[in-house]
DNA sequence: CTGTTAGCGCCTTCAC
DNA sequence: GTGAAGGCGCTAACAG
């Protein structure tokens, strides 16, 4: 069924170790032997089993990307960026994803995947938005975004605070004073920093922070949808909603539409991330760009550096954010 | 460094085989032992190495998706669909991708990846747009699109001929008679059938087929770009270009723009696939929808059926196509 | 230069 | 109900 190194050895009339040597381009193989074995390999279109190989040798030349949910456009962009990097450095990429999970279950899942891939298939792992508090640091691992408590390993993070502040300056400049905020997973750096930026913006403008205008979401579209319903049913509803990411902002748009609230006329909406879809919403979404693809690229590059034993310039790589003004906001 | 089954066994004061039993939910484990071992497993957050596990046992519960190039939006959509299916059926998904390759090199790459994953990590493999002539059929494999010669294994394919015919009917109805066609990889079903649809459309309208208006591309944006340059420099250039996929159609748009040819005023353009980007081109692209996500979903579902030993309703699953008229075409 | 030996971490008989 | 032994496909010493 499957052709193994043994089959090759037998067919070539050499020992398995010799085949292994030509497989791994070791020196000390007679040119004739090399050619002969190579011939058999091609003929049988043999390829060493990733599983077996990675169990013996530390290097597999594949980078793992563990992501809870490929459905999210954010993660798709990360994959794109990772792909660009592995393309450039000659690695292979394994994207590992499973059933969509939330909360504790997701944390456990993350840890399990790392344990599963580590030391076996993968030279190192990139993890998107890790919810697990303590990620292992004994082997190459780079996070994109990161847990609030997890500062002991390399990560790529956007300038979330500054980005959120820009949003608030913009919104307040438009005359808004009742601005709601829908957070992401509360334990992620990204969400916490965006919330801080939101609060700071209010503070700078001497606008009191209204706890009833702050909702805790989870970066998912339904969360944006449900939080909006709650927000707009408050006694004193907001005139603007700042969602901590675009997915939730799209949920906001949907909820507002269902409630018959025209945007931006009666409600201004801002997102964060600038996912590709953000330009196609109705109306096109004002958001904060953080070039997600670039984050994936940089994270992968960092990981490859670590794998190859090169020193990192910095443990935490910050990527710039930029306010993208489209049509979902309006002066009051 | 890595925690193995041995560590668990030692910590729990049992043998490895016992740990293995609780790991795989075998019967014949004393409840007390089970609980104790389970406790240690959680405490050490142990997870069996995918590599080691898959070397011994045939089932890994992971589906492999081998795709040459995650950069292509087409493949991204496929991943989305695959993800939906594994989510539903409780499998994990590994997307395997490497450096971008073309031609013979890519064929070899495909075969190698299959050999690598087969029997090791993966219970079955989904392969997008396989260029390799002969794919192994000795284990679960489903193709999306397929090689012209490869009809001996399950595949998901769009009604390419019908879709292309619709395009031609539309274009000819608009008054076009000099319609160029840019093909994809010539050996893929999709490309060949679309070309046939193109020719059939011409034939039905009694328009002679002009070989100088048929270019061979490869489904990549640059191919669309370069073919367009050649096409528009012909002595008698076409008034419409039908590209065999959207990526190439976007290349057409770019070339035309650079050459100062307004679209659709002086040139009509049609693509195929209806990738998400197609609605954001300038002008929005008329194309053929084939719900790529659905193809990924169905292929994965078929694969899981095979893996689980259930019979397939049909080897080749056809998905419907539908003409999507946007603004890139104009009556002559 | 090449073959032999010893495991990598795990699952599977086969004893007890 | 549990442990010991053997081997999956491969690589890494160690001999020769």
- Predicted confidence (pLDDT) per residue in B278-291, tens digit: 998 999 999 999 99
Residue A111 is predicted with a pLDDT of 85
pLDDT interval class at A119 (50, 70, 90) = low
Q: Residue B173 pLDDT > 70, yes or no?
A: yes
Nearest chain B residue to A51 by CA distance is B51
A43 touching B (Cβ < 8 Å): no
CB-based contacts with strand C under 7 Å? A 13-18, 21, 28-30, 32-34, 55-56, 119; B 2, 4-6, 16-17, 19-21, 23-24, 48-49, 52-53, 55-57
- Which is nearest to B268 in space by CA: B211, B194, B191, B325? B325
B102 touching A (Cβ < 8 Å): no
Residue A188 is predicted with a pLDDT of 93
pLDDT by residue (tens digit) across B35-92?
Answer: 999 999 999 889 999 899 988 887 889 999 999 888 888 998 999 999 999 989 989 8
The minimum CA-CA distance between B168 and chain A, rounded to whole Å, is: 29
CA-CA distance, A66 to A136, in Å (whole number)? 14
Place of tokens 């408590």: A149
CA-CA distance, B241 to B231, in Å (whole number)? 9
Residue B137 is predicted with a pLDDT of 76
Kindly state the percentage of chain A with pLDDT values over 70.
99
- Which is nearest to A67 in space by CA: B94, B296, B61? B94
Residues 109-148 (B) with a CB less than 8 A from some CB of A: 111-113, 115-121, 138-139
Do A50 and B117 count as a contact with CB atoms less than 8 A apart?
Answer: yes
Arithmetic mean of pLDDT, A15-41: 92
The minimum CA-CA distance between A55 and chain B, rounded to whole Å, is: 7
pLDDT interval class at B156 (50, 70, 90) = very high
> Strand C: which positions are within 7 A of a protein CB?
1-5, 7-13
pLDDT by residue (tens digit) across A10-23?
Answer: 999 999 999 999 99
Partner residue opposite B87 with nearest CB, options A47, A86, A99: A99
Arithmetic mean of pLDDT, A183-194: 95
- Which is nearest to A168 in space by CA: A135, A193, A187? A193
Average pLDDT of chain B to the nearest whole number: 93
Residue B45 is predicted with a pLDDT of 85
Contact A110, A99 (CB under 8 A): no
A7 touching B (Cβ < 8 Å): no
Residue A92: half-sphere exposure toward Cβ, Cα within 13 Å = 22
Arithmetic mean of pLDDT, B216-238: 96
B282 touching A (Cβ < 8 Å): no
pLDDT interval class at A161 (50, 70, 90) = very high
Contact A246, A277 (CB under 8 A): yes
What are the respective helix, strand and coil percentages of chain A, to the nearest 5? Answer: 45, 15, 40
B86 touching A (Cβ < 8 Å): yes
Partner residue opposite A50 with nearest CB, options B52, B99, B116: B116
A47 touching B (Cβ < 8 Å): yes
Residue A255: half-sphere exposure toward Cβ, Cα within 13 Å = 23
pTM (predicted TM-score): 0.88
Partner residue opposite A47 with nearest CB, options B69, B96, B116: B116
- Which is nearest to B155 in space by CA: B13, B40, B302? B302
A104 touching B (Cβ < 8 Å): no
Residue B230 is predicted with a pLDDT of 97
Arithmetic mean of pLDDT, B137-163: 89
Residue A204 is predicted with a pLDDT of 97
pLDDT interval class at B214 (50, 70, 90) = very high
Distances from the Cα of A58 to the Cα of A4, A119, A195, B116, B323, angstroms: 20, 7, 42, 17, 51
A5: CB within 7 A of chain D nucleic strand: yes
Rounded distance in angstroms from the CA atom of residue B17 to the C1' atom of nucleotide D3? 7
Residue B119 is predicted with a pLDDT of 66
Q: Which nucleotide minimizes the distance between its C1' and the CA of B51?
A: C9
Cα four-point dihedral sign A127, A132, A134, A138? negative
Rounded distance in angstroms from the CA atom of residue B148 to the C1' atom of nucleotide C14? 51
Partner residue opposite B1 with nearest CB, options A83, A86, A138: A138
CA-CA distance, A27 to A39, in Å (whole number)? 18
pLDDT by residue (tens digit) across A219-242?
Answer: 999 999 999 999 999 999 999 999
Taking each helix axis as running N to C, give the angle between helix B31-43 and helix B5-12, from 0 to 180 degrees, rounded to the nearest 10: 120
CA-CA distance, B210 to B207, in Å (whole number)? 9
Residue A228 is predicted with a pLDDT of 98
Alpha-helix residue ranges (DSSP H) falling in B174-258: 189-204, 221-232, 246-258
pLDDT interval class at A285 (50, 70, 90) = very high
Arithmetic mean of pLDDT, A92-99: 86
**Cα separation of the two ends of chain A:** 71
B57 touching A (Cβ < 8 Å): no
Q: Which residues in B lie closer than 8 A to residue A112 (C-beta atoms)?
A: 45, 47
- Which is nearest to A323 in space by CA: A287, A295, A277, A290? A287
Rounded distance in angstroms from the CA atom of residue A191 to the C1' atom of nucleotide C7? 47
Do B97 and A83 count as a contact with CB atoms less than 8 A apart?
Answer: yes
Do A98 and B93 count as a contact with CB atoms less than 8 A apart?
Answer: yes
Residue B294 is predicted with a pLDDT of 96
């Amino acid at each position: 069924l499957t052709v193994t190194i043994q089959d090759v050895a037998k067919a070539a009339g050499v020992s398995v170790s010799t085949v292994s040597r030509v497989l791994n381009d070791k020196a000390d193989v007679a040119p004739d032997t090399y050619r002969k074995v190579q011939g058999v390999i091609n003929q049988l279109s043999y390829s060493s089993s990733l599983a077996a190989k990675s169990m013996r040798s530390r290097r597999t030349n594949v980078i793992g990307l563990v992501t809870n949910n490929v459905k999210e456009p954010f993660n798709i962009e990360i994959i794109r960026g990772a792909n660009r990097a592995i393309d450039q450095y000659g690695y292979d990429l394994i994207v590992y994803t499973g059933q969509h999970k939330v909360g504790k279950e997701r944390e456990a899942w993350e840890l399990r995947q790392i344990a599963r891939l580590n030391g076996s298939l993968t030279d190192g792992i990139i993890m998107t938005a890790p919810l697990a508090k303590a990620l292992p640091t004994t082997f190459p691992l780079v996070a994109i975004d990161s847990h609030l408590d997890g500062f002991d390993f390399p990560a790529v993070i956007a300038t979330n605070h500054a980005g959120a502040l820009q949003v608030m300056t913009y919104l307040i400049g438009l005359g808004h004073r009742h601005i709601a905020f829908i957070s992401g997973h509360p334990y992620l750096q990204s969400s916490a920093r965006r919330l801080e930026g939101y609060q700071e913006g209010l503070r700078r403008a001497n606008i009191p922070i209204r706890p009833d205008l702050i909702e805790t979401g989870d970066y998912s579209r339904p969360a944006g949808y449900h939080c909006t319903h709650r927000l707009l049913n408050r006694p004193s509803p907001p005139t603007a909603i700042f969602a901590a990411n675009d997915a939730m902002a799209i949920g906001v748009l949907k909820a507002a539409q269902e409630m018959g609230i025209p945007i931006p006329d009666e409600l201004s909406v801002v997102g964060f991330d600038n996912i590709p879809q953000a330009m196609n919403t109705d109306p096109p979404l004002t958001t904060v760009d953080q070039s997600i693809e670039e984050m994936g690229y940089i994270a992968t590059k960092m990981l490859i550096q670590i794998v190859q034993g090169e020193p990192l310039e910095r443990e935490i790589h910050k990527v710039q954010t930029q306010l993208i003004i489209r049509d979902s906001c309006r002066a009051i």
